[in-house]
Amino acid sequence: MKKAVFPGSFDPVTLGHVDIIERALPLFDEIILGIGVNSDKKYMFSLEERVNFLNETFKQEKKIRVETYTGLTVDFCKKENAGFILRGLRNALDLEFEKTIGQANFEMAGIETVFLIASPGKGHISSTVVRDIKKHGGDYGFMVPAIVKP
C-alpha cells in the first residue's frame, strides 16, 4: 500500500494545495493531510477551522484522511507507515527550500519526497497572500475552496 503524507500548515487550505492533492491521488493508495502543529508559530485560522476546511473540501474522497501532528514530519510518517512525503513546487524559491528538507528527511528516515509542480495558473496562490488579503479586509475567495470563502 503506497501511502503519502502531505504536510503543511494549511492556514488556510488553498486551491493551490487542492491542485497538488487531486493530481497526486492516482499515485497513492492513501494521502494523509498532516497539519503540523508548531507551538512557536502564530496561525490565522484555528486548528479546528483548518481541520474542518480540509475535511469538508475532501469529504467525497475516500483516499484522503486528515490528521494533526507535532514533532518531526518523518516521525509522523513512520507512525502512519507512510513511505512518501508529498509537496508542491511553485517556483525556484520553493525548490531551494524544499530541497534541503527533502534531503534531510531522506537521510533521517529513508522517506522519499514526491514533488508536483503547480498547474499553470495556480502557482501564484499562497496561504500567505490569502492571510494578507484577509487581514486587510479584501476578498480572497478566488484562491480558496468554497468552505473557506468569507
Helix locations, the chain, DSSP H: 15-24, 47-57, 73-80, 92-109, 127-135
Question: Is position 62 annotated as part of the catalytic site?
Answer: no
Three-class DSSP category at 95: helix
Q: Which stretch binds ligand ADP (CB under 6 A): 26-34, 50-58, 70-78, 88-96?
A: 88-96
Q: Give binding residues for substrate as ranges.
A: 9, 41, 73, 87
Question: Is position 136 annotated as part of the catalytic site?
Answer: no
- Count of residues for the chain? 150
Q: Which residues pair with 34 in a beta bridge?
A: 7, 67
52 binds ligand ADP (CB under 6 A): no
Question: Among residue numbers 99 through 118, which ones bind ligand ADP (CB under 6 A)?
Answer: 118
**Which of the residues 23, 63, 65, 90 is marked catalytic?**
90
Asked if residue 7 has a cis previous peptide bond (ω within 30° of 0), the answer is no
126 binds ligand ADP (CB under 6 A): yes
Which grid coordinates belong to 77?
510518517
Among residues 122, 140, 144, 148, the one that binds ligand ADP under rule CB under 6 A: 122
Cα separation, 75 vs 139, whole angstroms? 38
Question: Is position 39 annotated as part of the catalytic site?
Answer: no
Residues catalogued as catalytic: 17, 41, 90, 127
| Residues of this chain that bind ligand ADP (CB under 6 A) | 8-10, 14, 16-17, 19-20, 87-88, 90, 94, 118, 122-123, 125-127
